[in-house]
Structure 1
Amino acid sequence: MNQTTTLYAAYATLIETVLGELVTEGVLPAGTSFANVTLEPPRDPAHGDLATNAAMVLAKGAGTNPRSLAQPITAKLRAQPAITNAAIAGPGFINLRLAPDAWLTELKTIAALGDQYGRSSIGAGRRVNVEYVSANPTGPMHMGHCRGAVVGDALASLLEWAGHRVIREYYINDAGGQVDVLARSVHLRYREALGDDIGAVPDGLYPGDYLKPVGAALAAEFGDQYRTAPEDEWLPLFRKQAVARMMELIKSDLAMLGIHHDIFASEAELQAAGKPEAAEGWLRAHDLVYDGELEAPKGKAPPEDWEPV
Protein backbone atom coordinates (compact mmCIF):
# COMPACT_ATOMS: atom_id res chain seq x y z
CA MET A 1 0.00 0.00 0.00
CA ASN A 2 1.25 3.47 -0.89
CA GLN A 3 2.11 5.33 2.32
CA THR A 4 0.11 8.38 1.25
CA THR A 5 -3.06 6.29 0.82
CA THR A 6 -5.31 5.32 3.70
CA LEU A 7 -6.63 1.80 4.07
CA TYR A 8 -10.11 2.78 2.89
CA ALA A 9 -8.78 4.63 -0.15
CA ALA A 10 -6.56 1.67 -1.05
CA TYR A 11 -9.41 -0.83 -0.97
CA ALA A 12 -11.73 1.56 -2.80
CA THR A 13 -9.12 1.58 -5.57
CA LEU A 14 -9.02 -2.21 -5.43
CA ILE A 15 -12.80 -2.38 -5.86
CA GLU A 16 -12.57 -0.11 -8.92
CA THR A 17 -9.80 -2.30 -10.36
CA VAL A 18 -11.94 -5.42 -9.96
CA LEU A 19 -14.93 -3.68 -11.58
CA GLY A 20 -12.71 -2.51 -14.41
CA GLU A 21 -11.67 -6.12 -15.03
CA LEU A 22 -15.34 -7.11 -15.21
CA VAL A 23 -15.90 -4.40 -17.83
CA THR A 24 -13.02 -5.83 -19.86
CA GLU A 25 -14.49 -9.30 -19.52
CA GLY A 26 -17.92 -8.13 -20.66
CA VAL A 27 -19.65 -8.80 -17.34
CA LEU A 28 -20.27 -5.07 -17.02
CA PRO A 29 -21.05 -2.93 -20.08
CA ALA A 30 -18.41 -0.62 -21.50
CA GLY A 31 -18.58 2.89 -20.10
CA THR A 32 -20.05 1.79 -16.76
CA SER A 33 -19.68 4.58 -14.19
CA PHE A 34 -18.47 3.65 -10.72
CA ALA A 35 -19.38 7.04 -9.26
CA ASN A 36 -22.11 5.63 -7.00
CA VAL A 37 -20.04 2.74 -5.69
CA THR A 38 -19.18 3.15 -2.01
CA LEU A 39 -16.90 1.39 0.43
CA GLU A 40 -17.48 1.86 4.14
CA PRO A 41 -17.53 -0.01 7.46
CA PRO A 42 -20.62 -2.24 7.79
CA ARG A 43 -23.22 -1.20 10.34
CA ASP A 44 -22.53 -4.37 12.32
CA PRO A 45 -18.79 -5.08 12.79
CA ALA A 46 -19.65 -8.78 13.03
CA HIS A 47 -20.39 -8.70 9.29
CA GLY A 48 -16.84 -7.75 8.34
CA ASP A 49 -14.33 -4.92 8.13
CA LEU A 50 -15.57 -3.25 4.94
CA ALA A 51 -18.74 -3.30 2.87
CA THR A 52 -19.48 -2.22 -0.69
CA ASN A 53 -22.71 -1.58 -2.58
CA ALA A 54 -21.05 -2.20 -5.97
CA ALA A 55 -23.39 -5.01 -7.05
CA MET A 56 -26.44 -3.12 -5.83
CA VAL A 57 -25.82 0.00 -7.92
CA LEU A 58 -24.38 -1.67 -11.04
CA ALA A 59 -26.70 -4.65 -11.51
CA LYS A 60 -29.39 -2.81 -13.48
CA GLY A 61 -26.91 -1.54 -16.05
CA ALA A 62 -25.50 -5.06 -16.36
CA GLY A 63 -28.95 -6.51 -17.01
CA THR A 64 -28.89 -8.79 -13.98
CA ASN A 65 -29.81 -8.81 -10.30
CA PRO A 66 -27.45 -7.65 -7.54
CA ARG A 67 -26.78 -11.07 -6.00
CA SER A 68 -25.86 -12.53 -9.41
CA LEU A 69 -23.48 -9.67 -10.14
CA ALA A 70 -22.00 -9.96 -6.66
CA GLN A 71 -20.74 -13.47 -7.43
CA PRO A 72 -17.99 -12.55 -9.96
CA ILE A 73 -17.07 -9.51 -7.83
CA THR A 74 -16.60 -11.58 -4.69
CA ALA A 75 -14.70 -14.27 -6.62
CA LYS A 76 -12.10 -11.72 -7.69
CA LEU A 77 -11.93 -10.14 -4.23
CA ARG A 78 -11.34 -13.51 -2.54
CA ALA A 79 -8.27 -13.95 -4.75
CA GLN A 80 -6.65 -10.95 -3.06
CA PRO A 81 -4.09 -11.99 -0.38
CA ALA A 82 -5.18 -9.27 2.04
CA ILE A 83 -8.87 -10.33 1.91
CA THR A 84 -9.74 -13.45 3.89
CA ASN A 85 -13.43 -13.45 2.99
CA ALA A 86 -15.86 -11.71 0.65
CA ALA A 87 -19.47 -12.58 1.45
CA ILE A 88 -22.72 -11.66 -0.25
CA ALA A 89 -25.29 -10.32 2.21
CA GLY A 90 -28.99 -9.56 1.89
CA PRO A 91 -30.11 -8.33 -1.54
CA GLY A 92 -26.53 -8.00 -2.83
CA PHE A 93 -24.26 -6.11 -0.46
CA ILE A 94 -20.69 -7.42 -0.24
CA ASN A 95 -18.93 -7.67 3.13
CA LEU A 96 -15.15 -7.99 3.26
CA ARG A 97 -12.98 -9.40 6.01
CA LEU A 98 -9.34 -8.26 5.89
CA ALA A 99 -6.32 -10.31 6.91
CA PRO A 100 -4.65 -9.24 10.20
CA ASP A 101 -1.54 -8.21 8.25
CA ALA A 102 -3.59 -5.55 6.44
CA TRP A 103 -4.33 -3.82 9.74
CA LEU A 104 -0.77 -4.21 11.00
CA THR A 105 0.55 -2.64 7.81
CA GLU A 106 -1.89 0.24 8.24
CA LEU A 107 -0.77 0.81 11.84
CA LYS A 108 2.85 0.94 10.70
CA THR A 109 1.90 3.48 8.05
CA ILE A 110 0.12 5.64 10.63
CA ALA A 111 3.15 5.51 12.94
CA ALA A 112 5.49 6.41 10.10
CA LEU A 113 3.46 9.33 8.76
CA GLY A 114 2.30 10.77 12.08
CA ASP A 115 0.13 13.85 11.64
CA GLN A 116 0.58 13.68 7.85
CA TYR A 117 -1.42 10.45 7.68
CA GLY A 118 -4.39 10.83 5.38
CA ARG A 119 -3.18 14.00 3.68
CA SER A 120 -4.16 14.03 0.03
CA SER A 121 -3.25 15.92 -3.12
CA ILE A 122 -6.60 15.23 -4.77
CA GLY A 123 -7.38 18.96 -4.78
CA ALA A 124 -4.31 19.62 -6.93
CA GLY A 125 -4.10 23.19 -5.66
CA ARG A 126 -7.51 24.17 -7.04
CA ARG A 127 -8.92 27.26 -5.36
CA VAL A 128 -12.05 26.82 -3.27
CA ASN A 129 -13.93 29.66 -1.56
CA VAL A 130 -15.73 28.64 1.64
CA GLU A 131 -18.07 31.32 2.96
CA TYR A 132 -19.30 30.61 6.47
CA VAL A 133 -20.54 32.21 9.70
CA SER A 134 -21.55 35.51 7.99
CA ALA A 135 -23.73 36.44 10.96
CA ASN A 136 -25.52 39.77 10.62
CA PRO A 137 -23.32 42.44 12.25
CA THR A 138 -26.10 43.60 14.55
CA GLY A 139 -25.06 41.84 17.73
CA PRO A 140 -22.92 39.16 19.34
CA MET A 141 -22.72 35.63 18.00
CA HIS A 142 -25.12 33.05 19.41
CA MET A 143 -24.93 29.25 19.50
CA GLY A 144 -26.42 28.90 16.03
CA HIS A 145 -23.63 31.04 14.61
CA CYS A 146 -21.10 29.04 16.63
CA ARG A 147 -22.33 25.77 15.13
CA GLY A 148 -22.03 27.14 11.60
CA ALA A 149 -18.57 28.51 12.39
CA VAL A 150 -17.27 25.14 13.58
CA VAL A 151 -18.81 23.19 10.69
CA GLY A 152 -17.58 25.69 8.11
CA ASP A 153 -14.06 25.80 9.49
CA ALA A 154 -13.89 22.00 9.67
CA LEU A 155 -14.97 21.80 6.02
CA ALA A 156 -12.35 24.39 5.02
CA SER A 157 -9.64 22.48 6.90
CA LEU A 158 -10.72 19.20 5.31
CA LEU A 159 -10.49 20.73 1.84
CA GLU A 160 -7.02 22.07 2.65
CA TRP A 161 -6.00 18.62 3.90
CA ALA A 162 -7.15 17.22 0.55
CA GLY A 163 -4.86 19.55 -1.37
CA HIS A 164 -7.14 22.47 -2.20
CA ARG A 165 -6.17 26.11 -1.91
CA VAL A 166 -8.88 27.34 0.44
CA ILE A 167 -10.05 30.91 0.96
CA ARG A 168 -12.14 31.42 4.09
CA GLU A 169 -14.68 34.20 3.57
CA TYR A 170 -17.01 36.04 5.93
CA TYR A 171 -19.74 37.92 4.05
CA ILE A 172 -20.75 40.99 6.06
CA ASN A 173 -24.45 41.74 5.64
CA ASP A 174 -24.01 45.47 6.20
CA ALA A 175 -26.58 46.73 3.70
CA GLY A 176 -30.32 47.02 4.13
CA GLY A 177 -32.75 47.87 6.88
CA GLN A 178 -31.20 45.88 9.72
CA VAL A 179 -28.05 48.00 9.81
CA ASP A 180 -30.11 51.20 9.79
CA VAL A 181 -31.96 49.81 12.83
CA LEU A 182 -28.58 49.10 14.40
CA ALA A 183 -27.43 52.68 13.77
CA ARG A 184 -30.60 54.11 15.34
CA SER A 185 -30.19 51.78 18.33
CA VAL A 186 -26.60 52.95 18.77
CA HIS A 187 -27.66 56.60 18.50
CA LEU A 188 -30.05 55.97 21.38
CA ARG A 189 -27.17 54.57 23.48
CA TYR A 190 -25.00 57.49 22.37
CA ARG A 191 -27.57 59.91 23.79
CA GLU A 192 -27.78 57.80 26.94
CA ALA A 193 -24.00 58.08 27.35
CA LEU A 194 -24.34 61.87 27.07
CA GLY A 195 -26.76 61.85 30.00
CA ASP A 196 -30.15 61.78 28.26
CA ASP A 197 -32.93 59.79 29.89
CA ILE A 198 -33.86 57.46 27.03
CA GLY A 199 -36.50 55.53 28.97
CA ALA A 200 -37.53 52.15 27.59
CA VAL A 201 -35.95 51.16 24.30
CA PRO A 202 -38.64 51.67 21.63
CA ASP A 203 -40.03 48.66 19.81
CA GLY A 204 -38.15 47.91 16.63
CA LEU A 205 -34.72 48.85 17.99
CA TYR A 206 -32.09 46.50 19.38
CA PRO A 207 -32.39 46.65 23.20
CA GLY A 208 -29.22 44.75 24.16
CA ASP A 209 -26.76 46.22 26.65
CA TYR A 210 -23.95 45.21 24.28
CA LEU A 211 -24.61 48.50 22.46
CA LYS A 212 -23.90 50.65 25.52
CA PRO A 213 -20.08 50.57 25.06
CA VAL A 214 -20.57 51.50 21.40
CA GLY A 215 -22.68 54.50 22.33
CA ALA A 216 -20.18 55.51 25.02
CA ALA A 217 -17.29 55.34 22.54
CA LEU A 218 -19.17 57.54 20.07
CA ALA A 219 -20.00 60.01 22.83
CA ALA A 220 -16.32 60.16 23.79
CA GLU A 221 -15.29 60.71 20.17
CA PHE A 222 -17.92 63.17 18.98
CA GLY A 223 -19.28 64.76 22.15
CA ASP A 224 -22.80 66.10 21.66
CA GLN A 225 -22.26 66.90 17.98
CA TYR A 226 -25.00 64.49 16.87
CA ARG A 227 -27.17 64.63 19.97
CA THR A 228 -30.04 66.48 18.33
CA ALA A 229 -28.84 66.50 14.76
CA PRO A 230 -31.18 65.30 11.99
CA GLU A 231 -30.93 61.59 11.26
CA ASP A 232 -29.54 62.06 7.77
CA GLU A 233 -26.47 63.76 9.30
CA TRP A 234 -25.49 60.93 11.63
CA LEU A 235 -27.06 57.75 10.21
CA PRO A 236 -24.31 56.86 7.68
CA LEU A 237 -21.56 57.56 10.25
CA PHE A 238 -23.23 55.67 13.07
CA ARG A 239 -24.04 52.78 10.76
CA LYS A 240 -20.39 52.43 9.72
CA GLN A 241 -19.09 52.80 13.28
CA ALA A 242 -21.64 50.38 14.72
CA VAL A 243 -20.94 47.68 12.13
CA ALA A 244 -17.20 48.03 12.74
CA ARG A 245 -17.67 47.60 16.51
CA MET A 246 -19.95 44.60 16.02
CA MET A 247 -17.41 42.97 13.71
CA GLU A 248 -14.70 43.49 16.34
CA LEU A 249 -16.93 41.66 18.81
CA ILE A 250 -17.66 38.84 16.36
CA LYS A 251 -13.99 38.46 15.36
CA SER A 252 -13.05 38.24 19.03
CA ASP A 253 -15.57 35.45 19.60
CA LEU A 254 -14.33 33.59 16.51
CA ALA A 255 -10.73 33.94 17.66
CA MET A 256 -11.63 32.17 20.90
CA LEU A 257 -12.80 29.27 18.72
CA GLY A 258 -9.52 29.37 16.82
CA ILE A 259 -11.32 30.51 13.65
CA HIS A 260 -9.82 33.15 11.37
CA HIS A 261 -11.08 34.26 7.97
CA ASP A 262 -8.98 35.38 5.01
CA ILE A 263 -11.56 37.77 3.58
CA PHE A 264 -14.29 39.92 5.08
CA ALA A 265 -16.47 40.97 2.14
CA SER A 266 -18.81 43.91 2.70
CA GLU A 267 -22.22 43.72 1.05
CA ALA A 268 -22.48 47.52 1.17
CA GLU A 269 -19.14 47.93 -0.62
CA LEU A 270 -20.10 45.37 -3.26
CA GLN A 271 -23.35 47.20 -3.93
CA ALA A 272 -21.62 50.57 -4.07
CA ALA A 273 -19.14 49.18 -6.61
CA GLY A 274 -21.96 47.90 -8.82
CA LYS A 275 -20.88 44.27 -8.47
CA PRO A 276 -24.42 42.77 -8.48
CA GLU A 277 -25.24 44.55 -11.73
CA ALA A 278 -21.90 43.50 -13.22
CA ALA A 279 -22.55 39.88 -12.24
CA GLU A 280 -26.00 39.95 -13.82
CA GLY A 281 -24.53 41.50 -16.96
CA TRP A 282 -21.95 38.73 -17.20
CA LEU A 283 -24.57 36.03 -16.70
CA ARG A 284 -26.82 37.55 -19.35
CA ALA A 285 -23.90 37.90 -21.76
CA HIS A 286 -23.30 34.16 -21.39
CA ASP A 287 -27.01 33.27 -21.73
CA LEU A 288 -27.22 31.98 -18.16
CA VAL A 289 -30.30 33.93 -17.03
CA TYR A 290 -33.88 32.73 -17.32
CA ASP A 291 -36.54 35.43 -17.49
CA GLY A 292 -40.02 34.25 -16.66
CA GLU A 293 -42.56 33.83 -13.92
CA LEU A 294 -42.09 31.48 -10.98
CA GLU A 295 -44.97 29.07 -10.55
CA ALA A 296 -46.80 29.12 -7.24
CA PRO A 297 -46.02 26.20 -4.88
CA LYS A 298 -48.04 23.16 -5.87
CA GLY A 299 -50.57 21.59 -3.55
CA LYS A 300 -51.18 24.64 -1.39
CA ALA A 301 -52.08 28.29 -1.60
CA PRO A 302 -49.13 30.62 -2.25
CA PRO A 303 -47.81 32.72 0.64
CA GLU A 304 -49.34 36.15 1.15
CA ASP A 305 -46.12 37.81 -0.02
CA TRP A 306 -45.81 35.61 -3.12
CA GLU A 307 -44.46 37.56 -6.08
CA PRO A 308 -44.33 35.52 -9.31
CA VAL A 309 -41.45 37.51 -10.78
Structure 2
Amino acid sequence: MNEFVKIVEVGPRDGLQNEKILLTLNDRKNLVLDLMKTGLQHIEVGSCVSAKWVPQMANSDELFAQLPQSPDIQFSLLTPNIKGFESALAVGCKEVAVFTAASESFTRKNINCSIDESFEKFADVMAAAKANDVKVRGYVSCIVDCPYEGAIDSQQVAYVTKRLFDMGCYEVSLGETIGTATPDRVKKVWDACLAELDPQILAGHFHNTYGMAIANIYQSLQQGIRVFDASIAGLGGCPYAKGASGNVSTEDLYYLLSRMGFETGLHLDALMQASRNISQVLNRQNPSNYANAYWQSRCA
Protein backbone atom coordinates (compact mmCIF):
# COMPACT_ATOMS: atom_id res chain seq x y z
CA MET A 1 0.00 0.00 0.00
CA ASN A 2 1.25 3.48 -0.87
CA GLU A 3 2.21 5.82 1.96
CA PHE A 4 -0.69 8.01 3.11
CA VAL A 5 -0.49 11.80 3.29
CA LYS A 6 -3.08 13.56 5.42
CA ILE A 7 -4.75 16.61 3.89
CA VAL A 8 -6.48 19.12 6.17
CA GLU A 9 -9.01 21.10 4.14
CA VAL A 10 -9.01 24.71 5.37
CA GLY A 11 -11.06 26.31 2.59
CA PRO A 12 -14.24 26.85 4.63
CA ARG A 13 -12.23 28.73 7.28
CA ASP A 14 -8.84 30.05 6.18
CA GLY A 15 -10.05 30.22 2.60
CA LEU A 16 -13.30 32.09 3.04
CA GLN A 17 -12.12 34.43 5.79
CA ASN A 18 -10.28 36.59 3.27
CA GLU A 19 -12.74 36.44 0.38
CA LYS A 20 -14.42 39.78 -0.29
CA ILE A 21 -17.83 38.23 -0.90
CA LEU A 22 -19.68 37.32 2.29
CA LEU A 23 -21.32 33.97 1.70
CA THR A 24 -24.60 33.05 3.31
CA LEU A 25 -24.58 30.35 5.95
CA ASN A 26 -26.30 28.06 3.44
CA ASP A 27 -23.57 28.69 0.84
CA ARG A 28 -20.92 27.82 3.41
CA LYS A 29 -22.85 24.71 4.38
CA ASN A 30 -23.08 23.63 0.74
CA LEU A 31 -19.32 24.03 0.41
CA VAL A 32 -18.71 21.71 3.35
CA LEU A 33 -21.29 19.22 2.05
CA ASP A 34 -19.47 19.19 -1.30
CA LEU A 35 -16.15 18.62 0.47
CA MET A 36 -17.62 15.72 2.44
CA LYS A 37 -18.14 13.86 -0.85
CA THR A 38 -14.47 14.11 -1.83
CA GLY A 39 -12.97 11.65 0.61
CA LEU A 40 -11.40 14.36 2.75
CA GLN A 41 -11.15 13.16 6.34
CA HIS A 42 -10.28 16.49 8.00
CA ILE A 43 -12.24 19.68 7.31
CA GLU A 44 -11.91 22.98 9.19
CA VAL A 45 -15.47 24.29 9.18
CA GLY A 46 -15.02 27.81 10.48
CA SER A 47 -13.82 30.04 13.26
CA CYS A 48 -15.47 30.97 16.56
CA VAL A 49 -14.34 34.58 16.51
CA SER A 50 -16.16 37.88 16.72
CA ALA A 51 -18.16 38.62 13.56
CA LYS A 52 -17.12 42.23 14.07
CA TRP A 53 -13.52 41.33 13.24
CA VAL A 54 -14.03 38.47 10.79
CA PRO A 55 -17.56 38.80 9.34
CA GLN A 56 -16.91 35.96 6.89
CA MET A 57 -16.85 33.55 9.84
CA ALA A 58 -20.07 34.69 11.53
CA ASN A 59 -22.13 31.89 13.09
CA SER A 60 -19.55 29.19 12.49
CA ASP A 61 -20.85 27.29 15.52
CA GLU A 62 -24.34 27.33 13.99
CA LEU A 63 -22.90 26.04 10.72
CA PHE A 64 -21.15 23.22 12.57
CA ALA A 65 -24.41 22.25 14.28
CA GLN A 66 -26.20 21.96 10.93
CA LEU A 67 -23.69 19.55 9.40
CA PRO A 68 -24.37 15.81 9.23
CA GLN A 69 -21.79 14.04 11.35
CA SER A 70 -19.73 11.27 9.80
CA PRO A 71 -17.46 8.77 11.58
CA ASP A 72 -15.02 9.11 8.68
CA ILE A 73 -14.66 12.91 8.82
CA GLN A 74 -13.16 15.04 11.58
CA PHE A 75 -14.65 18.54 11.62
CA SER A 76 -12.84 21.28 13.51
CA LEU A 77 -13.30 24.91 14.52
CA LEU A 78 -10.73 27.61 15.19
CA THR A 79 -11.09 28.90 18.77
CA PRO A 80 -8.75 31.76 19.74
CA ASN A 81 -9.91 31.96 23.35
CA ILE A 82 -12.05 30.26 26.00
CA LYS A 83 -15.20 32.00 24.79
CA GLY A 84 -14.67 30.58 21.32
CA PHE A 85 -13.94 27.16 22.79
CA GLU A 86 -17.17 27.20 24.78
CA SER A 87 -19.11 28.01 21.60
CA ALA A 88 -17.46 25.08 19.84
CA LEU A 89 -18.05 22.73 22.75
CA ALA A 90 -21.73 23.67 22.89
CA VAL A 91 -22.30 22.31 19.37
CA GLY A 92 -20.41 19.09 19.97
CA CYS A 93 -17.11 19.96 18.32
CA LYS A 94 -14.40 17.43 19.23
CA GLU A 95 -11.41 19.19 17.64
CA VAL A 96 -10.44 22.84 17.90
CA ALA A 97 -7.46 24.88 16.79
CA VAL A 98 -5.49 27.69 18.43
CA PHE A 99 -3.12 30.02 16.64
CA THR A 100 -0.10 32.18 17.29
CA ALA A 101 2.94 33.23 15.23
CA ALA A 102 6.71 33.12 15.26
CA SER A 103 6.66 36.92 14.82
CA GLU A 104 5.86 39.30 17.68
CA SER A 105 4.63 42.00 15.30
CA PHE A 106 2.31 39.67 13.42
CA THR A 107 0.90 38.25 16.65
CA ARG A 108 0.06 41.74 17.87
CA LYS A 109 -1.58 42.68 14.56
CA ASN A 110 -3.44 39.39 14.27
CA ILE A 111 -4.65 38.66 17.80
CA ASN A 112 -3.72 41.87 19.65
CA CYS A 113 -1.23 40.36 22.08
CA SER A 114 2.37 39.20 22.36
CA ILE A 115 3.45 35.61 21.70
CA ASP A 116 3.74 34.98 25.44
CA GLU A 117 0.31 36.48 26.04
CA SER A 118 -1.16 34.26 23.33
CA PHE A 119 0.05 31.22 25.26
CA GLU A 120 -1.54 32.57 28.42
CA LYS A 121 -4.87 32.70 26.55
CA PHE A 122 -4.36 29.13 25.35
CA ALA A 123 -3.93 27.79 28.89
CA ASP A 124 -7.66 27.95 29.65
CA VAL A 125 -8.51 26.44 26.27
CA MET A 126 -6.06 23.58 26.79
CA ALA A 127 -7.39 22.83 30.25
CA ALA A 128 -11.01 22.88 29.07
CA ALA A 129 -10.18 20.75 26.05
CA LYS A 130 -8.48 18.12 28.21
CA ALA A 131 -11.43 18.07 30.60
CA ASN A 132 -13.88 17.56 27.74
CA ASP A 133 -11.82 15.13 25.64
CA VAL A 134 -11.41 17.63 22.78
CA LYS A 135 -8.32 17.49 20.56
CA VAL A 136 -6.36 20.71 20.00
CA ARG A 137 -4.39 21.55 16.87
CA GLY A 138 -1.94 24.44 16.86
CA TYR A 139 -1.07 26.96 14.15
CA VAL A 140 2.15 28.96 13.88
CA SER A 141 2.08 31.80 11.34
CA CYS A 142 5.04 33.51 9.65
CA ILE A 143 7.48 30.62 9.78
CA VAL A 144 9.80 32.13 7.15
CA ASP A 145 8.95 35.81 6.65
CA CYS A 146 6.76 38.34 8.42
CA PRO A 147 5.14 41.26 6.54
CA TYR A 148 6.23 43.57 9.37
CA GLU A 149 9.57 42.14 10.56
CA GLY A 150 11.03 40.43 7.49
CA ALA A 151 12.95 37.17 7.88
CA ILE A 152 12.14 35.02 10.92
CA ASP A 153 14.75 32.97 12.76
CA SER A 154 14.09 29.23 12.30
CA GLN A 155 15.02 28.62 15.95
CA GLN A 156 12.19 30.95 16.97
CA VAL A 157 9.78 28.86 14.88
CA ALA A 158 11.01 25.68 16.56
CA TYR A 159 10.64 27.28 20.01
CA VAL A 160 7.03 28.36 19.44
CA THR A 161 6.13 25.05 17.80
CA LYS A 162 7.53 22.97 20.65
CA ARG A 163 5.80 25.18 23.17
CA LEU A 164 2.45 24.48 21.51
CA PHE A 165 3.16 20.77 21.50
CA ASP A 166 4.24 20.81 25.14
CA MET A 167 0.99 22.60 26.05
CA GLY A 168 -1.03 19.76 24.59
CA CYS A 169 -1.49 20.30 20.84
CA TYR A 170 -1.53 16.89 19.16
CA GLU A 171 -0.41 18.45 15.87
CA VAL A 172 1.13 21.80 14.92
CA SER A 173 0.66 23.36 11.49
CA LEU A 174 3.47 25.66 10.37
CA GLY A 175 2.19 28.47 8.18
CA GLU A 176 4.22 30.09 5.41
CA THR A 177 1.81 32.98 5.62
CA ILE A 178 2.89 35.41 2.91
CA GLY A 179 4.16 32.93 0.35
CA THR A 180 7.67 34.35 -0.05
CA ALA A 181 9.58 31.20 0.92
CA THR A 182 11.68 29.04 -1.35
CA PRO A 183 12.58 25.37 -0.66
CA ASP A 184 16.03 26.14 0.75
CA ARG A 185 14.50 28.39 3.41
CA VAL A 186 11.72 25.92 4.16
CA LYS A 187 14.37 23.23 4.67
CA LYS A 188 16.01 25.33 7.40
CA VAL A 189 12.70 25.65 9.23
CA TRP A 190 12.02 21.92 9.14
CA ASP A 191 15.62 21.18 10.18
CA ALA A 192 15.18 23.35 13.26
CA CYS A 193 11.80 21.87 14.17
CA LEU A 194 12.79 18.26 13.48
CA ALA A 195 15.70 18.65 15.88
CA GLU A 196 13.10 19.16 18.62
CA LEU A 197 10.00 17.25 17.47
CA ASP A 198 8.93 14.12 15.62
CA PRO A 199 7.69 14.71 12.05
CA GLN A 200 4.39 12.97 12.87
CA ILE A 201 3.16 15.96 14.85
CA LEU A 202 4.14 18.56 12.23
CA ALA A 203 2.08 19.88 9.32
CA GLY A 204 2.81 22.30 6.49
CA HIS A 205 0.57 25.23 5.57
CA PHE A 206 1.79 26.97 2.41
CA HIS A 207 0.50 30.01 0.56
CA ASN A 208 1.08 30.46 -3.14
CA THR A 209 1.70 34.20 -3.54
CA TYR A 210 4.84 33.68 -5.63
CA GLY A 211 3.91 30.27 -7.02
CA MET A 212 6.24 28.40 -4.66
CA ALA A 213 3.75 26.42 -2.58
CA ILE A 214 4.06 23.13 -4.47
CA ALA A 215 7.86 23.40 -4.56
CA ASN A 216 7.89 24.02 -0.81
CA ILE A 217 5.59 21.06 -0.20
CA TYR A 218 7.89 18.86 -2.28
CA GLN A 219 10.80 19.93 -0.07
CA SER A 220 8.71 19.18 3.02
CA LEU A 221 7.91 15.70 1.74
CA GLN A 222 11.63 15.06 1.30
CA GLN A 223 12.09 15.80 5.00
CA GLY A 224 9.36 13.42 6.13
CA ILE A 225 6.39 15.76 6.59
CA ARG A 226 3.17 13.89 5.84
CA VAL A 227 0.42 16.37 6.78
CA PHE A 228 -0.50 19.42 4.72
CA ASP A 229 -3.23 22.04 4.85
CA ALA A 230 -4.87 22.99 1.56
CA SER A 231 -7.79 25.06 0.36
CA ILE A 232 -10.25 24.04 -2.33
CA ALA A 233 -9.91 26.25 -5.43
CA GLY A 234 -6.99 28.04 -3.76
CA LEU A 235 -9.34 30.11 -1.63
CA GLY A 236 -8.01 32.56 0.88
CA GLY A 237 -5.07 34.64 1.86
CA CYS A 238 -4.44 36.46 5.09
CA PRO A 239 -6.34 39.56 6.24
CA TYR A 240 -3.26 40.74 8.18
CA ALA A 241 -0.69 40.15 5.42
CA LYS A 242 -1.22 42.52 2.51
CA GLY A 243 -0.78 40.87 -0.88
CA ALA A 244 -0.72 37.31 0.43
CA SER A 245 -2.69 35.13 -1.95
CA GLY A 246 -4.56 31.97 -1.19
CA ASN A 247 -3.42 28.70 0.26
CA VAL A 248 -2.12 26.02 -2.02
CA SER A 249 -5.14 24.56 -3.81
CA THR A 250 -6.30 21.13 -2.75
CA GLU A 251 -6.45 20.21 -6.44
CA ASP A 252 -2.76 21.02 -7.06
CA LEU A 253 -1.75 19.22 -3.86
CA TYR A 254 -3.75 16.17 -4.98
CA TYR A 255 -1.95 16.18 -8.33
CA LEU A 256 1.49 16.36 -6.75
CA LEU A 257 0.82 13.64 -4.19
CA SER A 258 -0.97 11.24 -6.50
CA ARG A 259 1.69 11.52 -9.22
CA MET A 260 4.40 10.90 -6.63
CA GLY A 261 2.67 7.70 -5.55
CA PHE A 262 1.22 8.86 -2.24
CA GLU A 263 -2.27 7.86 -1.14
CA THR A 264 -4.67 10.71 -0.29
CA GLY A 265 -8.08 9.04 -0.13
CA LEU A 266 -9.51 11.74 -2.40
CA HIS A 267 -12.11 11.09 -5.10
CA LEU A 268 -11.08 13.15 -8.11
CA ASP A 269 -14.48 13.78 -9.73
CA ALA A 270 -16.05 14.93 -6.44
CA LEU A 271 -13.04 17.11 -5.68
CA MET A 272 -13.24 18.83 -9.04
CA GLN A 273 -16.97 19.38 -8.73
CA ALA A 274 -16.53 20.96 -5.31
CA SER A 275 -13.84 23.17 -6.80
CA ARG A 276 -16.05 24.28 -9.67
CA ASN A 277 -19.07 24.89 -7.44
CA ILE A 278 -17.36 27.25 -4.98
CA SER A 279 -15.62 29.12 -7.80
CA GLN A 280 -18.99 29.75 -9.41
CA VAL A 281 -20.58 30.84 -6.14
CA LEU A 282 -17.78 33.36 -5.57
CA ASN A 283 -17.66 34.34 -9.25
CA ARG A 284 -13.89 34.05 -9.26
CA GLN A 285 -11.25 32.46 -11.45
CA ASN A 286 -9.84 29.29 -9.95
CA PRO A 287 -6.05 29.75 -9.59
CA SER A 288 -5.40 26.00 -9.48
CA ASN A 289 -3.26 24.91 -12.43
CA TYR A 290 -4.50 21.36 -12.18
CA ALA A 291 -8.16 22.35 -12.02
CA ASN A 292 -7.85 24.50 -15.13
CA ALA A 293 -6.01 21.76 -17.03
CA TYR A 294 -8.57 19.20 -15.90
CA TRP A 295 -11.57 21.15 -17.18
CA GLN A 296 -9.81 22.10 -20.41
CA SER A 297 -9.09 18.45 -21.11
CA ARG A 298 -12.73 17.57 -20.48
CA CYS A 299 -13.86 20.19 -22.99
CA ALA A 300 -11.30 19.24 -25.65
Q: Quick check: TM above 0.5?
A: no
What TM-score, normalized to structure 1? 0.26
Q: Larger radius of gyration, structure 1 or 2?
A: 1
TM-score normalised by structure 2 residue count: 0.27
Greater share of strand? 2
More contact order relative to length (CA 8 Å, sep ≥ 6): 2
